[in-house]
Structure 1
Amino acid sequence: MDHFLYRDGVLCAEDVPVAEIAAAVGTPFYVYSTATLLRHYNLFDEALAGTDHVVCYAMKAASNQAILRTLAQAGAGMDVVSGGEYLRAKAAGVPGEKIVFSGVGKTAEEIRIALTGGIRQFNVESEPEMEVINAVAQDLGVIAPITVRVNPDVDAKTHAKIATGKSENKFGIPIARAPEVYARAASLPGLKVVGIDVHIGSQLTDLEPFRLAYSKVAELTEQLRAQGHDIHRLDLGGGLGIPYARSNEAPPLPLEYGAMIKETLGHLGCEIEIEPGRLIAGNAGLMVSKVIYVKSGEGRDFLILDGAMNDLIRPAMYDAYHDIVPVIEPAPGVEQRPYDIVGPVCETGDTFAKQRAMPPLNPGDLVAFRSAGAYGAVMSSEYNTRPLIPEVLVNGDQFAVIRERPTFDEIINRDTIPEWL
């Protein structure tokens, strides 16, 4: 569910007409719904009711500080994957003890930043990383809390580029080697083992891969405890998917996911951490764009928009599907026709949809890309010297620009020309 609905024939973000935002900030832009963000966070929090748990929002999905603060004020922790994300979370007011640091390539400087500013735990991905964390912690005179990310060799049955739990993926250590790696961690004076970490992928639409992975984690927990390790925290990652196409079968609900966690792991008495990102932010955001031209081609027609692949790269990168709807609701029974919906970037890959059935549209009409709140703005770029587009947050009948569109001068003046030129 989201809070983007037609009212009196006009698409609204909560109580604000999308066209009103377009008139104020120009197109294209992203718009997020506070009510949807909070609803989705609360679904996860409620799904784990009765357990000791923390919902750490995976901020790589959408990392504007206004979004982070909205969720943090509701009680969310944060899952970060870079020093920049860590500092962004802190700037948004998230305390260090509610920040989990994941990622396969943490540098010594990033580790130092987190240990200096405070950290809930590092999710360690390799033995060399473990040694570096230990060295930095000893240099600072502190103890670094860690989990070790285990790779359970479970097929998440998701897109190959976002699967992370199979043996050939770069993430974690093979689960069979966990006892050896935990023994090494226990011998390092700068580390404190607090638990186990696992994350098998993103956009999962079936609970069975989670169940398989978590069952392996349960067995490992008992094995490591028998070997003397204090395993009291289980970081289960994120990955629960969303329905990008409204005709798709709906993925499992957070309540079902929470019940499965309790079933597979509840007997262990561990604190549970989960790191949802897409399901919190995905349906909480739209990208709104304007039709520039309607072009007739050889056997097909094109809607050419002012939004492009640099603004929303998911279709070009993953062949991802987004529902695209007109901001002015079509009249009932209006005849639709197929269009290729494309942007202005000089790449054939700058295509959002092929032969998508749409009502007749004209230059100047607005369209909205649904489910664009996750991995939209955060993956955008200034390719073709196209400015990053504004982000807008709606709260009831109010809206605010939470990232301005830079001017061309601001973009161009970042360049520095050497004195010999």
Structure 2
Amino acid sequence: MTPMPLPGQPHVHFADGALHVEGVRVADLAQQHGTPLFVYSKASMLAALAAYQRGFAGRNAQICYAMKANSSLAVLQVFAQAGCGFDIVSGGELERVLAAGGTPARIIFSGVGKTRAEMQRALQAGIGCFNVESEAELEVLNAVALAGGHVAPVSIRVNPNVDPKTHPYISTGLKGNKFGVAHEDALRSYQRAASLAGLRVVGIDCHIGSQITEETPYLDAMDRVLDLVAQIEAAGIPLKHIDFGGGLGIDYQGDTPPAADALWHKLLAKLDARGYGQRQLMIEPGRSLVGNAGLCVTEVLYLKPGEHKSFCIVDAAMNDLPRPAMYQAFHQIVPLSPRDGATASYDVVGPVCESGDWIGRERALAVQAGDLLAVLSAGAYCMSMASNYNTRGRPAEVLVDGAQARLIRRREDAQDQMRGELLLD
């Protein structure tokens, strides 16, 4: 039987009536490792990365994976071995990159609340750049660098006040957002940074949001940033690189984001037209590299019919898949082995004691207790945001490479969760 790929997920497909990730039958993985279970396609990750690499062919560009999307060590290894740098937002993420074999000089440290200890550790590791997000942070980083005998390479994150047309919780480039230095304050901030002995200005940064599905916000933000580059360099402060962040969306529910290579073809044309085509470029994609590479397998525990609404209760919950509860996000949900017969409308919900614990609303499913379902497009901002709420262990993770599947994270048990806790005397 010819494999039937799912929309937006060419490496997740049905063959012989069963869902597969690459060459592996997903039900076999669930039987071996239990549920809930995250399953990732290595080929999907590398194919998504290849689109960016095509877009930057012949350019001086560095792709830094925004690891907050999925920070599992084996996932980081895939991107490190493919030549990627990393965008981090915490000291813990720095340690993960180093443990996975990432190159320190290709690490960019973003985030609005870096601590002194995180700064010190990053300087000791020799990271490539700090993306500074406030004038107060400039002062603290300068003091930490001087105290340790370092000079910190810095780029200032500029807030261009461009609407990315995405969910408000993941919009980061508007005046009301907490991120970055206001566009009108950028030149003053750069002049202050250039005057501090513990800092070395190396670039400029802009990141306007996540799950962006239109090209216009990127084009508008680029114009705003390049205007600033001209002003800053006219003031005698050279900028080695220009960092345009990430944020490109994926297909969750018929979304139609531009392909990465097509988007960058247009952005590079604008750069060339404005005379910056040979400048070193940095970007930090996250979701677009891993989002459609992953799924979460869950077992149907109970069907609970009701007068106004029927529920399909599964063993995955908001602690495993936080996006629906947090962002009202949509994920496709499909049976691993579709049944014949009529479907019924269900809210797919988990066992956590919260009314917000839902995975999908009003889904047409033909299911019975014991069936296995796959929550699709779960490679980004699911496992990395998972918690132990209700003392639930985080799921196991498996990485598929062709016909091979490898366990990359063991399922947590109660002892794992309590290991760092102490009883009273």
**TM-score, scaled to structure 2:** 0.95
Q: What CA distance in whole angstroms lies between the structure 1 residues aligned with 2:362 and 2:176? A: 36
- In structure 2, the residue matched to 1:260 is 266
Letter of the structure 2 residue corresponding to residue 324 of structure 1: I
Q: Is the 8 A contact 1:338 1:356 kept in 2?
A: yes
Letter of the structure 2 residue corresponding to residue 411 of structure 1: Q
- In structure 1, the residue matched to 2:33 is 25
- Give the counterpart of 2:82 among 52, 58, 74: 74
- Give the counterpart of 1:370 among 376, 393, 396: 376
SS in 2 for 1:241: coil
- Give the counterpart of 1:15 among 14, 23, 37: 23
Q: CA deviation at 1:263?
A: 2.1
SS in 2 for 1:353: strand
Kindly indicate whether residue 400 of structure 2 is the aligned counterpart of residue 400 of structure 1. Answer: no
Q: Is the 8 A contact 1:77 1:94 kept in 2?
A: yes
- In structure 1, the residue matched to 2:314 is 305
User: How many equivalent pairs are there?
Assistant: 414
SS in 1 for 2:68: coil
Kindly indicate whether residue 351 of structure 2 is the aligned counterpart of residue 344 of structure 1. Answer: yes
Q: Residues 99 and 413 (structure 1 numbering): CA distance in 2 closer, same or farther, change over 3 Å?
A: closer
Letter of the structure 2 residue corresponding to residue 237 of structure 1: G
Deviations 1:373-408 (A, max 9, x none): 000001011111111111111111111111111222
Q: CA deviation at 1:30?
A: 0.5
Q: Is the 8 A contact 1:218 1:264 kept in 2?
A: no
Q: CA deviation at 1:301?
A: 1.9
Q: Is the 8 A contact 2:173 2:207 kept in 1?
A: yes
SS in 1 for 2:200: strand
- In structure 2, the residue matched to 1:357 is 364
Paired residues for 1:16-415 under 5 Å: 16-245=24-253, 248-266=254-272, 267-268=275-276, 269-331=278-340, 334-358=341-365, 360-415=366-421
Q: What CA distance in whole angstroms lies between the structure 2 residues aligned with 1:263 and 1:120? A: 27
Q: What CA distance in whole angstroms lies between the structure 1 residues aligned with 2:94 and 2:232? A: 30
Q: What CA distance in whole angstroms lies between the structure 2 residues aligned with 1:46 and 1:241? A: 18
Q: What CA distance in whole angstroms lies between the structure 2 residues aligned with 1:413 and 1:272? A: 44
Q: Is the 8 A contact 2:339 2:367 kept in 1?
A: no
Q: CA deviation at 1:330?
A: 4.1
Q: What CA distance in whole angstroms lies between the structure 2 residues aligned with 1:181 and 1:173? A: 8
Deviations 1:24-44 (A, max 9, x none): 110001011000011111111
Q: CA deviation at 1:208?
A: 0.6
SS in 1 for 2:101: coil
Deviations 1:246-267 (A, max 9, x none): xx24111101221122122232
Q: What CA distance in whole angstroms lies between the structure 2 residues aligned with 1:409 and 1:207? A: 48
Q: What CA distance in whole angstroms lies between the structure 1 residues aligned with 2:339 and 2:267? A: 43
Deviations 1:174-217 (A, max 9, x none): 11111111111111011111110000000011111111111011
Letter of the structure 2 residue corresponding to residue 285 of structure 1: G
Q: Is the 8 A contact 1:52 1:272 kept in 2?
A: yes
Q: CA deviation at 1:413?
A: 4.4
Letter of the structure 1 residue corresponding to residue 228 of structure 2: L
Q: What CA distance in whole angstroms lies between the structure 2 residues aligned with 1:105 and 1:240? A: 24
Q: What CA distance in whole angstroms lies between the structure 1 residues aligned with 2:296 and 2:314? A: 12
Q: CA deviation at 1:371?
A: 0.3
Letter of the structure 1 residue corresponding to residue 291 of structure 2: G
Q: What CA distance in whole angstroms lies between the structure 2 residues aligned with 1:303 and 1:256? A: 40
Deviations 1:285-318 (A, max 9, x none): 0011000011111233211101011110100010
Q: Greater CA deviation, 336-345 or 114-123?
A: 336-345
CA-atom RMSD in angstroms: 1.1
Q: What CA distance in whole angstroms lies between the structure 2 residues aligned with 1:413 and 1:250? A: 45
Q: Greater CA deviation, 51-60 or 218-227?
A: 218-227
Q: What CA distance in whole angstroms lies between the structure 2 residues aligned with 1:255 and 1:74? A: 17
- In structure 1, the residue matched to 2:6 is none
